[in-house]
């Protein structure tokens, strides 16, 4: 039986990596989460939740939701390192709405990469 989780090599874990992406990277904000990113030769992702989400249980739930959305749709994003930051509104949407929001942000990121490739 095949495991469906994210491969370990695709997960950002070190605080140093998170901080670099948050400080130096680009970002796209959606209604339910923000995607911070830097361009790279591979694809990795980390997940965080705003402290405005009041309890640890809810923050962990938000991270699980984002992880699943990323896992199912990661091929929509160009190669790079990503940090997904959940916003409190993430609980106002159903799963399909969160996927649509992710797809919209992924499209904006792809366009930005194309624009940078064409101009530079």
Q: What is the pTM of this model?
A: 0.92
- Each residue of 19-28: b (16+ CB within 10 Å) or e? ebbbeebeeb
Q: How many other CB atoms are there within 10 angstroms of residue 100's CB atom?
A: 15
pLDDT at 120: 65
Domain contains 85: yes
pLDDT at 1: 62
pLDDT at 6: 84
pLDDT tens, position by position, 44-95: 999 999 999 999 999 999 999 999 999 999 999 999 999 999 999 999 999 9
Range of the domain at 101: 30-37+52-120
Domain contains 63: yes
pLDDT tens, position by position, 17-32: 999 999 999 999 999 9
Q: Report the CATH number that the domain containing residue 83 is assigned in CATH.
A: 3.30.230.10
17 is written with which tokens? 């990596």
Q: What is the domain count for the chain? A: 1
């Amino acid at each position: 039986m095949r495991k469906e989780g994210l491969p370990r090599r695709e997960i950002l874990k070190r605080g140093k990596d998170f901080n670099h992406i948050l400080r130096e990277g680009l970002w796209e904000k959606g209604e339910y989460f923000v995607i911070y990113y830097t361009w790279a030769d591979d694809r990795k992702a980390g997940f965080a939740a705003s402290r405005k989400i009041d309890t640890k249980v809810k923050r962990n739930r938000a991270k699980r939701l984002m992880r699943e959305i990323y896992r199912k749709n990661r091929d929509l994003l160009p190669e790079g390192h990503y940090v997904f930051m959940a916003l409190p509104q993430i609980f106002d949407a159903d799963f399909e709405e969160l996927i649509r929001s992710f797809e919209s942000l992924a499209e904006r990121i792809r366009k930005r990469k194309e624009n940078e490739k064409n101009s530079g």
